[in-house]
A = this chain, B = another copy of it.
Amino acid sequence: MVEVFKGGIPVIDTLQRWYEEFKLEGYGAMIPFIGIVRPDNKIDGLSFDLYLPMLNEWFKKWENLPDAKIMMAHSFGDVMVGETSFLCAVFTKHRREGFKYLEEFVEDFKANAPIWKYDLINGKRIFAKDRAKELKNAGILKEE
């Protein structure tokens, strides 16, 4: 299951919890990824909608890897500049599988996780259309 938080993720508490849970399980490498909201485009922050049933469905294939453990958290609602909206951590025996899985996981997440991002500018919530990517088989209901 993906851990979801309203607003910014409690990064340090979450990392601590995951670290304590898996540090004695024989994994030699823990590689987290922390996605921080940057002060770009004059935004005050970002905001997110999640489709949770499908997000958990998508995550299933990453939850039961034979040689790695992956944990993940994501925000919904408003996340201010300097706060974290996406957090994950890959645990592997050796570092090289860890690098590989982290990159594959994050790229799959960016392409396929059912999450929608909005810029928060002057109190308005504006869909980040320029950064959004079509899911596979998009346009299937388009009129010919």
User: A34 contacts the other chain (Cβ, under 8 Å)?
Assistant: yes
* Copies of this chain, count: 2
Which one of B23, B34, B39, B106 contacts A36 once the chains associate, using CB atoms below 8 Å?
B23
Q: Which of A9-17, A49-57, A69-77, A114-122 contacts B (4 or more CB under 8 A)?
A: A9-17
A95 vs B84: C-alpha distance when bound (angstroms)? 14
The answer to whether A36 touches B31, judged by C-beta atoms less than 8 angstroms apart, is no
Which one of B28, B32, B81, B99 contacts A38 once the chains associate, using CB atoms below 8 Å?
B28
CB distance from A43 to the nearest CB of B (A): 12
| Interface size counted on chain A using CB atoms at 8 A | 33
The answer to whether B34 touches A19, judged by C-beta atoms less than 8 angstroms apart, is yes
Known contacts A12-B12, A19-B11, A19-B12; A36/B30 CB under 8 A: yes
User: A67 contacts the other chain (Cβ, under 8 Å)?
Assistant: no
A residues in contact (CB < 8 Å) with B: 11-12, 15-16, 19, 23-24, 26-40, 81-84, 93, 95, 98-99, 102-103, 106
